[in-house]
């Protein structure tokens, strides 16, 4: 997050509080399973699942949160 000038004190407090919460969460987060274990938990041989696996490989080492969505009932 960033703040543009001029800014309100409440906005500054909100951004700082969010940064502190993010830092606290990163200290208490559960480590992700190893790549091999995580891959074994995924099942699928269809072209669609192969595409999902490719996407996962691309984003696996990024510090960002990624949400992969699909049609209802697809898992």
Domain boundaries, the chain: 1-30, 33-75
> Measured in whole angstroms, how far is the alpha carbon of residue 2 from the centre of its chain?
20
Global pTM value? 0.40
Q: Which residues of 62-74 are buried (b: 16+ CB within 10 A; e: fewer)?
A: eeeeeeeeeeeee
pLDDT tens by residue, 4-61: 888 899 999 998 898 888 877 766 656 655 666 666 677 778 888 888 888 888 887 7
Task: Give the per-residue pLDDT at 9.
Answer: 92
Task: Give the per-residue pLDDT at 10.
Answer: 92
| Coil, strand or helix at 56 | helix
């Amino acid at each position: 997050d960033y703040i543009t000038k001029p800014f309100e004190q409440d906005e500054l407090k909100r951004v700082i509080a969010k940064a502190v919460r993010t830092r606290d969460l990163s200290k208490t987060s559960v480590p992700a399973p190893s790549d091999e274990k995580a891959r074994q938990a995924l099942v699928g041989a269809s072209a669609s699942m192969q595409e999902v696996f490719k996407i996962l490989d691309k984003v696996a080492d990024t510090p960002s949160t990624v949400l992969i969505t699909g049609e209802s009932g697809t898992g």
